[in-house]
Amino acid sequence: MAELDSLHDDILRQIKDATTLDALEQIRVGVLGRNGQLTAHLKGLGALAPDERKARGAALNQLRDAVEGALGAAKQHHERAALDKRLAEERIDVTLPVRADNDGRIHPISQTTDELIAIFGEMDFTVAEGPHIEDDFYNFTALNIPPEHPARQEHDTFYLTPRAADGSRKVLRTHTSPVQIRTMQKQKPPIRIIVPGRTFRSDHDATHSPMFHQVEGLVIDKKVHMGHLKGCLIEFCRTFFDIDDLPVRFRPSYFPFTEPSAEVDIGCSREGGGLKIGAGADWLEILGCGMVHPKVLAAGGIDPTEYQGFAFGMGIERIAMLKYGIPDLRTFYESDLRWLKHYGFVPLDQPSLVSGAR
């Protein structure tokens, strides 16, 4: 027993003196490993008379517990010290101010896209992307868009030549909805994505451009219902426009790929000629949405008897124009530095998640 006491003191001293995790590991192997000191003692128990074995066995177990406890505590201590050291060494100073002569500006499209990602990111959405040059299947067929639908018309859509063997042509995507199908095909539900990106239509006036941006949203799970769609989009509208009591209205509508479908209007006032978003007598349409059509789920390889979901789509220029008071869509793409100075955003000068305004 005296021998075990001295072994105990000896091992604990070694543990106390160890300065690295490696040294601790060596001690552990030397004591508790297959050929360790304590292991040898434990193996020797078999040769003892029953009475003696019981007393010595208990003492050895106690010793083992003490050693394991001391090793664990020492390991934790060294790990924490190593982490503290790293934290102290790797600290960086992020307080350096922006250079005063920094003339760069963030384009309102980029700014608005960042805001969308931040708001939906808070709701656990991730960002998905897809190609600008799409197959007829993803842009139309899989989305239940019938042959006679206006979006399919030659004069509305940019088609690429030549035709494929089956007569189909590639198109510049007319909306971000094809990414719904692409995501369903490669990701199992639950799905919760937004898709900000470029879209193309043969349109050109003060409120339409042949190239513009949309953001798509798609949520699919077993019990997703219209209440989730409404809650999500009301929350989005109020956060994006930074108006807590912004009136939001869902108006029945039609899209081939959702059923039922709705358009979302926000409250505004047009008194005195100017447009003011918030309470008022008027409404302003800002996005389309609905419950994903069972045919669309099936086209994406998802069983519509097991899953359901909602989708929405809106124009990024449109909501940027409304939020930041930009009157003409065409000016977004003129690369006029005076315009960008006026409507653009100073990098690193974004006071809050949602407001973005200077």
With respect to ligand PHE, which residue has the nearer C-beta, 310 or 332?
Answer: 310
Distance of CA 23 to the CA centre of its chain: 43
Extract the runs of DSSP E, i.e. beta strands, from the chain.
Answer: 126-127, 133-134, 171-172, 191-200, 211-221, 248-255, 258-269, 276-277, 282-292, 308-315
CB of 191 to ligand PHE, least distance (A): 14
Nearest residue (CB) to ligand PHE, 59 versus 117: 117
Residue 271, Cβ density class (10 Å: 0-12 exposed, 13-18 middle, ≥19 buried): exposed
Question: Which CB atom, from 288 or from 300, has the smaller least distance to ligand PHE?
Answer: 288
| Residue 120 beta carbon to ligand PHE: minimum distance, rounded to whole angstroms | 14
Count the residues in the chain: 358
- Coil/strand/helix, residue 224: coil
Closer residue to ligand PHE (CB): 200 or 241: 200
Q: How far apart are CA 241 and CA 277, in angstroms?
A: 8
Give residues in contact with ligand PHE (CB under 6 A): 175, 177, 216, 255, 258, 288-290, 311-313
Amino acid in position 335:
S
Give the residue with the Cβ less far from ligand PHE, 128 or 311.
311
Residue 306 CB burial class (10 angstroms; 0-12, 13-18, ≥19) = exposed
Provide, rounded to whole angstroms, the least separation between the CB of residue 21 and ligand PHE: 55
Strands 191-200 and 126-127: parallel
CB atoms within 10 A of CB 17: 10
State in angstroms the smallest separation of the CB of 193 from ligand PHE.
12
Least distance between ligand PHE and beta carbon 151 (Å)? 8
**Nearest-CB residue for ligand PHE:** 313
Angle of helix 50-89 relative to helix 2-17, nearest 10 degrees, comes to 10
Considering the complex, state which of residue 236 and residue 255 has its C-beta at the smaller distance from ligand PHE. 255
When the beta carbons of 180 and 350 are compared against ligand PHE, the nearer one is: 180
Cβ atoms of residues 200 and 210 within 8 Å: yes
- Buried-state track 192-220, b at ≥16 Cβ within 10 A, e below 16: bbbbbbebbbeeeeeeebeebbbbbbbbb
Least Å distance, CB 252 to ligand PHE, is: 13
- Could you tell me how far CA 119 lies from the centroid of its own chain? 10
CA–CA distances in Å: residue 208 to residues 203, 329, 331: 6, 7, 11
Q: Cβ 313 to ligand PHE, closest distance in Å?
A: 3
CB of 243 to ligand PHE, least distance (A): 23
Smallest distance, Å, CB 189 to ligand PHE? 17
Measured from the CB atom, the residue of 106 and 289 that comes closer to ligand PHE is 289
Which residue's CB is nearer to ligand PHE, number 144 or number 258?
258
